[in-house]
Structure formats: structure tokens, C-alpha cells
Amino acid sequence: MPSNKAIIIDLYINEFWQDAMLTYDYMRPCKGNLSFDYKLQSIIWLPNLCFINSKSAQIHSSPFRNVFLMVFPNGTLWSCLRIKSTGPCTLDLHNFPMDSIHCYLTLTSYNYNHNEVNTIWSQPSPVLLFKDIELPDFTMVNFSVLSYPKVYAAGEWDELSVSFTFKRRYGWYIFQGYIPQYTTVFISWIPFYLGPKAIPARTMIGVNAVLALSFQFGNIGKNLPRVSYIKAIDLFILT
């Protein structure tokens, strides 16, 4: 749900890596894969992946800590975490209310650089949606993934980024902004059809039209972020 320049999202993070010290296929085990809970994480090596650009993130604990860990005989580990994360969004309101919002999350190892951990997206579908995201104010129209190196003072890190694009639903602004503006302007044309002696009526309609336009403009603007540039709806109202 994008709001206030941030996106709040529930997601499952699946990580796969291999640890030779946990190989046990040579023992010919009777059970192929071993499943564990979060308690095993404190005694094994982890790549320590995190969202470096998130404003907040937490693992769900309903009713227990939502962490799944599986060890395969060849030393491969599969970790699955259910996380609620808040990530940043970029707003460009020049075309408001026909604008789009881009939100993104960046995943990387917090402790290990490229020489120790090589982080890549799984193929062929690194990101899967369980259902179409439909919100009262936005509709998700696209998402994309990106992998790139990032140089820091301690070395080079592999970063994985996923971007979500949301298109604003402008139906509310059509009914609450554009149509009332059109109606007010049409009403303001009535004095042109009145006689020249109907000065009180002409004045009253003109003043009321200006007040109505100002009220409608303020009612829409108070719910928007304060920006220093002119939006599309501003141009429409001023015109």
C-alpha cells in the first residue's frame, strides 16, 4: 500500500545458499531433507541479507516467529521468512492526478561483500505475486527486478532491487474536482444572459463562483504533499 512516500508490503523472502560443513549425504540418511525453525539460525552461518533502504522491517510472529529453514543432504540451505517491510517511494506529481508512483526495495548482504557472498536473483521468476494488487487509490501496473554491484568503503557488494509501479486511480478526482469545477464555471456564465440592469444578481453569481472555485481548489490541495512545482490539476483549475 503506497502512501506518504512509502510502501508497506508483506512478502516472503526465500534464500538459497550452500554450506559444505552441513553436507550429510555421505551418511546415507533415511530422511532426505531436514526442517528446522528459527532457533537453528543462531548456530549456523547465514548470509545476513537485509533491506538496506527500508524504513522499517520485521518478521511476523503470529502466533510464532514465521521462519522456515530446510537443510538438504548436499549442504544446500533454504530459508523462508515472512516479513512486513516499509520501503521508499518516489513521487512525481507533475501529471497529478494521472501520475504514477515508483516504490522499490533493495536487498543485499549486510556483513559480506562480493568476495565472500555472491548474491543473485533466482531464475526464471525471481519475484512472484500471489494476487493482483488492487488498492482504493492505486493499481499496480508493473514490477521489475535489477541486480547490480555497489561500491562502498569496505568493498563491492551485490545488490538486488525490486521496483513496483503504481498508477493512481483518478476517478475520485474526476467526481470531486473536475466535474464540480466545470459546473461552477458553467454557472458563472449565467450573468452573460442577464440584463445589464441585474447588477446584484450578476455580482452575486460571479463572487460565488470565485469562492466555490477557491474552496474546491483548497479541498483537493490539502490532501496532497506540498511541492514547489505546478501540478496538472493546478493548471486546470487556474485555467
Q: Is 27 helix (H, G, I), strand (E, B) or coil?
A: helix
How much is the CA Rg of the chain, to the nearest whole Å?
28
164: β partners: 103, 143
Which residue from 51, 43, 37, 59 is spatially nearest to 7, judged by alpha carbons? 51
Under the banding of pLDDT at 50, 70 and 90, the label for residue 69 is: very high
**pLDDT above 70 as % of the chain:** 98
Degrees, nearest 5: CA angle 225-53-16: 140
Q: Which three cell numbers stand for residue 81?
A: 521468512
Q: Are 22 and 43 a contacting pair, CB within 8 Å?
A: no
2-168 and 172-238 agree in CATH topology: no
Alpha helices in the chain (DSSP H): 171-173, 179-188, 199-221, 232-238
Q: Residue 223 has what DSSP assignment?
A: T
To the question of domain 172-238 being in CATH 1.20.58.390, the answer is: yes
Work out the average pLDDT over 19-41.
86
Q: Which of 31-45, 82-96, 140-154, 191-205 has the lowest mean pLDDT?
A: 191-205
The three grid cell numbers given for residue 72, joined into one nine-digit string = 538438504
**Whether domain 2-168 has CATH 3.40.190.10:** no
Distance CA 88, CA 102 (A): 9
Give residue limits of the domains in the chain: 2-168, 172-238
Q: Which residues of 21-37 are buried (b: 16+ CB within 10 A; e: fewer)?
A: ebeeeeeeeeeeeeeee
- Cα–Cα distance, 159 to 161 (Å, whole number): 6
- State residue 1's pLDDT score: 53
* Dist. CA 237–CA 218, nearest whole Å: 11
Task: Provide the grid cell at 236.
Answer: 486546470
Query: pLDDT digit string (tens) for 32-55?
Result: 888 998 888 889 999 999 999 998
Q: What amino acid occupies position 203?
A: T
Cut 0.85: pTM above it: no
**pLDDT tens digit sequence for 52-68:** 999 888 999 888 899 99
Greatest Cα pair distance in the chain: 105
β-pairing, 155-168 with 138-152?
A: antiparallel
Mean pLDDT of 193-210: 82
